[in-house]
Every structure is written in C-alpha cells, then in structure tokens.
Structure 1
Amino acid sequence: MKQVKELYRLISSFLNRAENIEERKQLFDWFDQQSADQISEEQFSDIQKNVKNRLLNEIGTTERTSTTLKYVQYIGTAAAVLLIGFFAYNLWPSTENIASEELLASVPAGKERAIITLGNGKKIDLEQLNLNQRIQTGDVIIIKDGNGQISYHDAKSNKPIVQINSMHTPKGATYDLTLSDGTLVTLNADSKIIYPTTFSQGNRVVELQGEAYFHVRKTSNKSKFIVKTKDQQVEVLGTQFNINAYPETGKTQTTLEEGSVLVSLEKNSKSSVRLLPNEQAVLKQGGLRVHKIDIEEALSWKNDQFYFNGNNTAEVLQQIARWYNITITYKANSNKEQYSGKIPRNLSLDKLIKLLNFADLNTKAVLDKDNKINLIIT
C-alpha cells in the first residue's frame, strides 16, 4: 500500500508540474521497470479515474472531449504519453477477449527478418542463415558475413557477379541491407526493394515498394543514386532520407533528414521539387506538395515507436496490423476520431490491446477458421 501511495504521489506531482528532477527520474524508472504489477485492479480503478480527471483538468475541461491518446498532446511532454501507456498496458484489466491471454501474450512485436529472391527465382529466408555462413544455389554463392551483410559470388570464379535481386520484409519485420556501394537501407515491415548485387557504371538505381530509410554513400565518380517507386523517383548524390510508398495509403511520402534530394513524377520528370532537410514531399492523386515535417515523427518506426499526430482510426489500425501481422476489422462508421501520441513498437499483442482499450478503441481478439488472430474494433 505504501508503494501505491508513493506512485500516486509521483503521478500527482508530475501532472501538476510540481515534480523535481529526482522525482521525475523515480517515476520514469518506475515506468521502465514496470513495477506497478503489485497494484490490484481495484486500486488501479481509483488511480485511473484520478489520472483521467487530472488530464482533463490540465486542458481546462471537465467533460470528455476526445480520446485518451489525444489528451496527451496538450500536456506538452512525451513522458506523459509514456505514463498513460504505462497504466494502460500494465494495469488495464482484460475484458471480452475470446483469444486466450496466453496466446495474445505470445504474439511478439516485429523482429529482424527478410527473404531475398535471386535472379533465378530462388527464395532464401535470411533468418535461416547464420553469420559467416555461405550457401550455393546453381552458379551463385551467397555469403552472410559477420555483420549480417549479404554478398554474392560466382561459384566458378569466386568473383562478384551482377544479379538483379529483391529483398522482402514480411509483416512484423524489419531488416538492414548494405548495398554494394556501401549505402545502408533499412526496410520497414511489409516492404520490398529491388537492387543489383553490384552497381555498374552510371546511375545507381533501386526500386521500392513499402517504406525504407536510405543512408546513401557518396561515390568517387559522383554517380547519382535513384530510388523508383510506383509513381515517382528520388534522385540524390549522398544523403539520408525516408520513403513511405505503401500502396494502400494512396500516397507516397519522401522525407529528407540530411542533404538534398530531387523528387520527380515518374511520368513527368519536369514536374519535380527539391527538398531541404526536415521537409517532406507528398505525392497524391498525381500532384506533389512540400511541407515542413517533424523528423522524429517521420522516422519514428526506425526508433521502435508508433508516432500518431492527428491520425484517424484507419491510419492507426493500418500501421498496427502491418507491424503485428494480424487482421483488423473496424466496425465503426467513420474516421472522425483523431489520435496523437506515441506507442512503443516492442509491446506484445496483449499489452497493445489493453492500450487500445484505454484509448476508447473497444477491442477484442478472435480466432478465425485458420486459428489466426483477428482484432475486432467497435
């Protein structure tokens, strides 16, 4: 009981902005260690009620005006988001879950995994390759070195050979790929990159479906690095940028972190824009527009976070379904609700469901005929 009172005192001080540095550290340490597992559901009910009331008072209202995730944007600190997430996924009691808690807890967040497809159509799951392991398929030797980098060699001459390969990350997975020129590519979940095993003279060209972050290496001959998506291409010399080109979103977003890039339409190269750092080009319905962007938001997936900033329900659930490799059925009639806040991407599925419930997305998990998990949101 003493521990509960101390936790409540720290929360109260935090929400009233009266905490000192040491108290803030204690509270964040408590969150990191998930020490609230000693609090009963009855005790949490009272704490949760008071926390919500204090959040409402913080924005000057006594009525519920938005979703819980949206409250946090008015507090003005990312720590408040984490605090809400802490109570949600550690303490919120489970209700109406048809799938067992054990099953949901066993569904992990995404991991590092990818499948490469060789020029001859042969598929290789890189998860099955150990570091410093080599395999041979036909006349091609594939080597996964000590850093996890993949290289290709001719089995007869043991010299590098040129192939057009592709790498695909399934839902719930990411992967780092180092291209032959030293360019680092990080693929987000359910994404695909098509690339040559070795770049020849001239432009370095790759194709992307889904989302990836590029750290392009400059070359001595200053050859251009070009990323093609369905409706646009991005041209650079050496820079760091992110491209989000999932087909289901209906748009392509190119975000520049460092350097300079030229974004142009695939069918009309004269229609182009040059980005500066912290700018984003959005291609939608055939038109390009540029605006300033919070780089932390755009690259949040690389830092193992979901970052929502006024996203509607469909956009939120789309990201979650892709990362956890599950099906989500949304039964509500509109997407008028908007959500703001951060959620760790390393939560197990049971904790995520509790967080969604806390944000007033009434969620239950069912098993389909193939025993795959389907989240139903009402």
Structure 2
Amino acid sequence: MPWKFILFKQSSKRDKSENHTDPCKESVSKARQMEDKYESFMNASPAEQEKMFAEHKATSPRDKFDLYPDWESINKKFATSSRPPMNLYSMMAAAAMIGILLALAYLFFTGHKLKEPTQGIARAKGPELILSNGSVIDLDNIPNGAFTAKGIHYTKTDTSLMCRLLEPYQVAIPDTHKLTVPSGRRYQVTLADGSIILLNASSQLHFPVQFSTNERWVYMQGEAFFKVNADRVKPFFVNVNNEVYTIATGTAFNIRAYEGTEHIKATLIEGHLSVKVYRSSKSTTLQAGQQVNYKDGKFVSPDHLDLNQVIAWKKDIFHFNNSSIDEIMEEIGRWYNVKIQYEGKKPCTYLYAVLDRSMSLEAIIETMSLIQVHLRLEGDTLIVSSL
C-alpha cells in the first residue's frame, strides 16, 4: 500500500520531556496510541500493513474520529483569569501539537489523498558518469544493459551501475571516473572490488578503474552509504571533502558531508571504522551504532542517535526527528531542486515527521501548512514564512 506521510509532531523547542497537564491527558493517550500504531506499521510486512490499514479504516470512520483536544475544558478552567499563567502557553502548544499529530495520523490511516500537483518543478539532469578524459555519459539517456568505457565493463539499470575490469591495468596510476547524482535522485554503484556505494541526491563519487595492490581509495562529497567488501590486507579509504578520511576493511557506514554545511557526519552501522583528520593527529574510532560529527576542528558524538533517521534516505524517506525548520528546508530544497528563502520572521519550531520522498512538492507545501508553516513557490525559489 503506497503511503505519503505517517506522522507529524510540532514543538516550540527541542524538548522531549513527557510533562503534560491534566486537560490534555486523554489526547496525549491518543497521540501515544498513534505513535504505537506508526511503529507497528513501519515494522510490519506489506501484507500486515494492508491488514492494519483495513482494520483501522473499518473501526475509525471519519465522522467519529476525534482529531482535536478538548479546547472547551481548557477555556473554562482559565476563564476567570484576565491573563493566563505561563504554563497555559505550554499547555496550548502541547494541545496544538497533539491535534496536528492526530489529524495527520488520521490522514494516513484513512488513506486521504493530497491534491495532485498542477505544475511540476524542473528537475536537474540525470546521473552522469564522467570519464577521466572528460567525456560525459548521461546515464538516463543510454539503454539499460552492458556498455564499455575506458577499460571498464559497466552493467546499468535505472538506479544502479556495476563496474568490472576487462583486464588489469598496466599503469602506475589508474584512471579515475566520477559519478554525479542530481537533486531528487539516488544512485548505486558497485565497484570493481565488489564494494557497494549508494549515493544520495546532490552527491558525487570519484573512484579509480582499478585499486592499487595495497589500499583502496575513493573521494566523495554529499551523502553516501558504503557496504565495503571485506579485505583485511587492502583497507578501504574514503576521502571526505579533503577534510577527513575514513578507514575500513569490511563494514557498512553512512557519511554525510554536503558542501556548505557546517559539519561532517560518519555513522557506523556494522563493523569497524576509523575517522582521521588530514594533516593532523586527530582521529577517532567508531563501534557499530555510533556516530561522530566533525565540526570546527573537533570530533563530537551525539547524546542520542536514531539509526533509522540516519539511513531513512536509502528507502526514499524524509525522517525528521525534532528537526529545526532550517534542517527540514535544507532537505526539501536539495531534493526538489529549489532555493530556500525566508520571508518575515522565521518559523521557530522543531518537528518530527516521516514523509515519502515521492510526494510532490505541492503535497509537501500542503502538509507543512497544517503545522502553521507557509510555503510559496515562486519560480525555482520556495518562500518560507509563518502562517
């Protein structure tokens, strides 16, 4: 069953505390039930998802679904006060958050359709393979199947490329090819050693047609997930923006290092990974399930790590976990190939959302309006303001 979005939650600050006042207890309980349903749904098989959807639709008809908290009881409780006490504001924010969460959960579970876009956004050109001699191969414009370029046999599909050497190179420094992935796309490449690299939107990878006899080097920019083929005598190095590099022998990890962002993030999913700084003695080692951020010359590890959020993009999902409006708009701008511009006071809110990246930009605009963030498209620029 195709889905467009799962859950949306809003807060005025990065506060994950569970302190709620009495008037909202019932709605908080409903919100938690929705979160439980979301978790169950995401972990279920496609067949189980279909069954859950049918059961929920049968037991929760639209006219009986309670979307909003009990505003009347809240108003009565504070009617005698000319100026509500400060905790009322946090209570109202919590109630608004719950109403939004329940409304969006309702839209998901009842299969409500967002309106289709009336005008598409111009997409960037497709993934390109740039050879060492400067020749450019537009991978969208060649048929799927096998082709040969500069001594490498490639097998292509709509979303992947597999490399295999026709014969060993007889040169000291093998040629290097570059794979670029535009906005709104992801693309996978299998290197000659069997290592698999999945590139996210607006990313690039430089790789040699043949690795040297004692080590394997690639260069990346953007975001990529690496599944390195094990070889203890020939470690796998990733040059990240010429700032840091990682060393792996056989492991799975994610690196996020977009140009213009403040930090580089390396997340280890399984195996062993070392992260070192160029022209410095600084280094750190990760264990499975750990992440390190490199910013302002320092390594910093987050207090909390959600691995599902880190690798959600592999499944073409936006997963925002208490993310600022800046973080969300950065992702939207990169994926939909639009510039971001703020108008008036920037919305001061942090959001939790799980969105399907196949949603049209117009559907994203409609969804964001539900949490009081107004988006307006003018040409290739998305204007952001508070409602």
* Structure-2-length-normalised TM-score: 0.71
> Structure 1 residues 152 and 224 mapped into 2: Cα distance closer, same or farther (>3 Å)?
closer
Q: Identify the match of residue 331 of structure 1 among 328, 336, 343.
A: 343
SS of alignment partner, residue 328 of structure 1: strand
Q: CA deviation at 1:87?
A: 8.3
Q: Identify the match of residue 349 of structure 1 among 358, 361, 364.
A: 361
Residue equivalent to 1:358 = 370
Q: Counterparts in 2 of 1:1-378, with a 5 A limit?
A: 15=31, 17=33, 28-29=52-53, 50-53=66-69, 63-65=92-94, 68=97, 72=101, 83=105, 86=108, 90=112, 101-104=117-120, 107=121, 113-134=126-147, 143-145=154-156, 148-151=160-163, 159=167, 161=169, 162-219=174-231, 222-230=233-241, 231-268=243-280, 270-291=281-302, 293-334=305-346, 336-366=348-378, 368=379, 373-378=380-385
User: Aligned pairs, how many?
Assistant: 326
Q: CA deviation at 1:319?
A: 0.3
Q: CA deviation at 1:314?
A: 1.0
**Residues 156-191 of structure 1, C-alpha deviations (whole Å, 9 max, x = no match):** xx6354420111101111000001110000000000
Q: CA deviation at 1:90?
A: 4.2
Q: What is the identity percentage for the equivalent residue pairs of Structure 1 and Structure 2?
A: 23
**Residues 97-123 of structure 1, C-alpha deviations (whole Å, 9 max, x = no match):** xxx94114xx59999x52111000111
Q: CA deviation at 1:225?
A: 0.4
Q: For 1:240, give the aligned amino acid.
A: A
> Structure 1 residues 25 and 191 mapped into 2: Cα distance closer, same or farther (>3 Å)?
closer
Q: CA deviation at 1:203?
A: 1.1
Quick check: 1:67–1:360 contact (8 Å CA) kept in 2?
A: no
* Structure-1-length-normalised TM-score: 0.73
Q: CA deviation at 1:340?
A: 1.6
> Structure 1 residues 116 and 295 mapped into 2: Cα distance closer, same or farther (>3 Å)?
same
Cα distance in 2, alignment partners of residues 123 and 298 from structure 1: 31
> Structure 1 residues 361 and 31 mapped into 2: Cα distance closer, same or farther (>3 Å)?
farther
Q: For 2:119, give the aligned amino acid.
A: L
Quick check: 2:69–2:95 contact (8 Å CA) kept in 1?
A: no
Q: For 2:53, give the aligned amino acid.
A: D
SS of alignment partner, residue 264 of structure 2: strand
Quick check: 1:185–1:214 contact (8 Å CA) kept in 2?
A: yes
Residue equivalent to 2:76 = none
- Aligned-pair Cα RMSD in Å: 4.2
**Residues 209-247 of structure 1, C-alpha deviations (whole Å, 9 max, x = no match):** 00000000012x621101111211111111000000012
> Structure 1 residues 70 and 202 mapped into 2: Cα distance closer, same or farther (>3 Å)?
farther
> Structure 1 residues 325 and 89 mapped into 2: Cα distance closer, same or farther (>3 Å)?
farther
The unaligned stretches of length 5 or more in structure 1 are: 1-10, 73-79, 95-99
SS of alignment partner, residue 341 of structure 1: strand
